Structure 1
Amino acid sequence: MYTIGQVAQFLGVSRDTLKFYEEKELVKPKQNIENGYRKYNRFDIYDITTVNFYREMDIEIKKIQDLRKSKSIEGIKSILEEKERDVLEEIEYKQLLLKKLQIVKEDCEKIKQFLGKYTVKEMKPLEIKGEIEHFTAYDEYETLKENTDNLKKAVTLTSLRRVIRFNDEGILEDKFIIVRKVEDFHKEIEGEILSHPKCMYTVIEDGRWSTGGKNIDHNVEASLRKAAIENGYEPLGLVYINLLLTTYEDGLERVFLEMYVPIK
């Protein structure tokens, strides 16, 4: 027979954990009526190690209680298969999260390298999944959630692209499309594919910290036109804008946008 202290020590659990197991009737050590001390036998040890095993797999206490009452081998297998599905889904989400973290790191490098500078770059293929009136059209965000790559269906703006059409006289059209990066052409593609092998590319800064809240569309348009002329490029009258990163300075947002301007 063992004391609670001895069991806690050689199983590597706290006394509070053992008391919690007892409270939930997952283990039932004998108790000395005179002094209240608990004594654990080898069967209690089996119970504790079994509970620890299920807890390590993050199986809920209620299900462990059900297992303790009565469960066939098939019943145990069913619970484990259910937990396996949960773990696989969480792994898939974590892999997606890791990918997004790596993308944001790459975006930070883009900002350092291209902010205020112009270069020629390919705009990789994008599948159009939908369209919303404006990024502030919150009632349309359900469409954005349905078409996101995020397993937890959080609303983010990373799948949005602002599309501006312009000519020599100014802006003709301004809209927002929901897109998905096309990385595998073997997968079924339902929407239209956007792809431009040659674009004038730059990163600009927006947000109240740098602009005071002013609309800078016309300034950006003029800068793009000037850069195109200086470099001998002929724009096709389109600009695709992607939100790279938002940060804060003195409590005001700094928004970094990457711009693809298709050229002939």
Structure 2
Amino acid sequence: MYTIGQVAKFLGITRDTIKFYEEKELVRPQHNRENGYRTYNHFDIYDLTTINFYREIDLEIKKIQELRKGKSIEGIQSIVEEKEQEVLEEIAYKKLQLKKLQLVKEDCEKIKQFLGNYTIKEMKPLEVMGEIDHYKAYDDYDTLKENTDSLKKAVILTSLRRVIRFNDEGMVENQFVIVRKVEDGENIIDGDIVAHPKCLYTVIEDGRWSTGGKNTDDKVEASIRQAAKEYGYELVGLVYVNLLLTTYEEGLERIFLEMYVPVK
């Protein structure tokens, strides 16, 4: 027979953990009525080892209690398969999180490299999932949720693209579209695809810290026309604007936007 201290030491678990398992009736040591101490035999140790095994694969206490009451091999297999599916879903979610973190790192590099500078770049295919009249039309954001596999995958603001149509006289149309990046080799696509092999590309800064809240569309338009002239391209009258990153300075937001301006 062993004391709780001895069992805790050679199993590598704490006394509190053993007491917790006792409270959940997963292990039932003998109690000495004279001194109140608990003693553990080799069956108790086997029970604790088994509980630890199932906890290591992250089975909930409730599931272990079910097992403790009695489960067939098929029953155990069913519980394990259910847990396996949870883990696979969590792995998929973590992979998505990792991808988003990596994209934010890439966006930081874009800002450092292209802020205020123009280059020629391809706008890769985007699937148009829907339209929103204005990014402040919050009631329409449900459309975004309907077009994602789960709420964990919904990225509301960064799924929007501001699409500006203009001519020589100025802006003709200004709308927001809900988009999804089309992955390489993807064949089944429901929505319309927009892509432009050749665009003027730049990153601009907006937000109250840099602009004082003033509209800078005219200034940006002039910059685009000047860049097109310098590169020797003709504008087709479209601009796609995407939110890259938002940060704060002196309590005011600094918003960085990337712009694809199709040219020919």
Alpha-carbon separation, structure 2, partners of 1:154 and 1:181: 13
* Cα drift, residue 232 of structure 1: 2.1
- Matched residue type, 1:71: K
* Cα drift, residue 154 of structure 1: 4.0
After the TM superposition, which of the residue ranges 86-95 and 42-51 deviates more from structure 2?
A: 42-51
1:120 equivalent in alignment to 2:159 = no
- Which residue is equivalent to 2:157? 157
SS of 2:158 mapped into structure 1: coil
- Matched residue type, 1:97: Q
SS of 1:112 mapped into structure 2: helix
Alpha-carbon separation, structure 1, partners of 2:162 and 2:149: 19
Alpha-carbon distance change, 149 to 238 in structure 1, aligned in 2, over 3 angstroms: farther
- Which residue is equivalent to 1:39? 39
* Cα drift, residue 156 of structure 1: 2.9
Number of residue pairs aligned between Structure 1 and Structure 2: 264
Aligned residue runs from structure 1 range 88-99, under 5 A: 88-99=88-99
- Which residue is equivalent to 2:168? 168
- Matched residue type, 2:215: N
Aligned residue runs from structure 1 range 46-195, under 5 A: 46-148=46-148, 152-195=152-195
After the TM superposition, which of the residue ranges 180-189 and 109-118 deviates more from structure 2?
A: 180-189
* Cα drift, residue 170 of structure 1: 0.9
- Which residue is equivalent to 1:17? 17
Please, what is the CA RMSD of the aligned residues?
1.4
Alpha-carbon separation, structure 2, partners of 1:156 and 1:96: 15
After the TM superposition, which of the residue ranges 98-107 and 51-60 deviates more from structure 2?
A: 51-60
* Cα drift, residue 178 of structure 1: 1.0
- Matched residue type, 1:72: S
Alpha-carbon separation, structure 1, partners of 2:186 and 2:112: 34
C-alpha contact (below 8 Å) 1:148/1:159 kept by paired residues: no
Alpha-carbon separation, structure 1, partners of 2:159 and 2:166: 23
SS of 2:235 mapped into structure 1: coil
Alpha-carbon separation, structure 2, partners of 1:221 and 1:95: 39
Cα offsets for 1:157-185 (capped at 9, x unmatched): 22111100011111111111111111234
Give the alignment's TM-score, normalised by structure 2: 0.96
Structure 1 unaligned residues grouped into runs of 5+: none
1:254 equivalent in alignment to 2:260 = no
- Which residue is equivalent to 2:203? 203
1:4 equivalent in alignment to 2:4 = yes
C-alpha contact (below 8 Å) 2:121/2:201 kept by paired residues: yes
Alpha-carbon separation, structure 2, partners of 1:148 and 1:220: 33
Alpha-carbon separation, structure 2, partners of 1:124 and 1:154: 21
Alpha-carbon separation, structure 1, partners of 2:60 and 2:133: 44
C-alpha contact (below 8 Å) 1:30/1:40 kept by paired residues: yes
- Matched residue type, 2:48: I
Alpha-carbon separation, structure 2, partners of 1:217 and 1:163: 13
After the TM superposition, which of the residue ranges 40-49 and 114-123 deviates more from structure 2?
A: 40-49
Alpha-carbon separation, structure 1, partners of 2:162 and 2:44: 64
